Structure 1
Amino acid sequence: MPRTIAARSKKISTDAIAAAALAGSLLVAGSAQAASGPGVPPVPQRPAGTITSPTGVNERMYPSTDSSVRGTFARGAKITLRCKVHAQTVGGNDVWYLLRNRPTWVSAAYVGNVSAVPLCKEVNRGTLDDAPATRAAMG
């Protein structure tokens, strides 16, 4: 039985829509696999942590308990971290974290990490970070 031109046209447009949908879904699946496949570096995340000390933790001007206290965080507080250095040992841990949003330090002995934290010498530094006091603190 011969098809009418309208029926053929409808069949072609339906097939075209189905093909476009399939191509789009394959494109999305392919890009998701490529983004997480071998040889592709992971998407960088902002390092973060949670305060684990029952009494909280002091923010210090430099990575040392001899440095002045600039503020405190309560237990369970979420903090974002910029980088880490090896400095004074606190509770068997010599790592100190520089906070992301202000130039203060907290001892890693009291922070549970949520993600990896780079060394400060591997992080791009700004103009203020090149001050002699800051360079001395970063090691």
Structure 2
Amino acid sequence: MPRTLAARSKKISTDAIVVAALAGSLLAAGSAQAASGPGVPPVPQRPAGTITSPTGVNERMYPSTDSAVRGTFGRGAKVGLRCKVHAQSVGGNDVWYMLRNRPTWVAAAYVGNVSAVPLCKDVNRGTVEDSPATRAAMG
């Protein structure tokens, strides 16, 4: 028996609703699985540290004690870290951290890490960090 045009239209719109609902639930399940699960890297934390020196630490223009002091941090101060380089040794530790919010450096010997810090060569550089003087200082 042939269906009327209205019956066919109703059947098509019902099928479309079922397909749309199924697709929506699949997308929701897929995005929930993408947010966590095996093979999915965790959301990276922003590196940070705490100043451990009893007298605080100098914030320097370049990763060297010969470089100009741009500021200081007192003991217990929380600092955001962008990246690290190997440079002048301070107390047997040759790692220096570039601060996250400005292109200045602190000696790792005086910073307790809260999270992992990438090497500066692996971090995208901006105009300031890509200057010839900074590149020479980073090695």
Residues 1:136 and 2:136 aligned together: yes
User: What is the aligned partner in structure 1 of residue 97 from structure 2?
Assistant: 97
Distance in 2 of aligned mates of 1:55 and 1:116: 25
Distance in 1 of aligned mates of 2:136 and 2:120: 12
Q: Deviations over 1:45-85 (max 9, x none)?
A: 11100000010000011101111111100000000011000
Runs of 4+ in 1 over 6 A off after TM superposition: none
Amino acid at match of 2:77: A
Amino acid at match of 1:121: K
Q: How many residues align?
A: 115
Amino acid at match of 2:124: N
Taking structure 1 as the reference length, the TM-score comes to 0.75
Alpha-carbon spacing, 1:109–1:32, altered in 2? closer, same or farther (3 Å) = farther
Alpha-carbon spacing, 1:33–1:85, altered in 2? closer, same or farther (3 Å) = same
Q: CA RMSD in A?
A: 2.0
Runs of 5+ in structure 1 lacking a partner? 1-23
Residues 1:127 and 2:127 aligned together: yes
Distance in 1 of aligned mates of 2:123 and 2:49: 18
Contact 2:103 2:129 (8 Å CA) reproduced: no
Distance in 1 of aligned mates of 2:37 and 2:93: 35
Give 3-state SS (helix, strand or coil) of 1:128's partner.
Answer: coil
Amino acid at match of 1:114: V
- Range with bigger deviation, 83-92 or 124-133: 124-133
Deviation at 1:101, TM superposition (A): 0.8
Distance in 2 of aligned mates of 1:32 and 1:95: 39
Distance in 1 of aligned mates of 2:130 and 2:85: 16
Q: What are the residue-to-residue correspondences of 1:47-58 with 2, within 5 Å?
A: 47-58=47-58
User: What is the aligned partner in structure 2 of residue 17 from structure 1?
Assistant: none
- Identity within the alignment, %: 88
Distance in 1 of aligned mates of 2:33 and 2:111: 34
Taking structure 2 as the reference length, the TM-score comes to 0.75
Amino acid at match of 2:68: S
Q: Deviations over 1:70-123 (max 9, x none)?
A: 110000000001100000111111100000111110000000111110000000
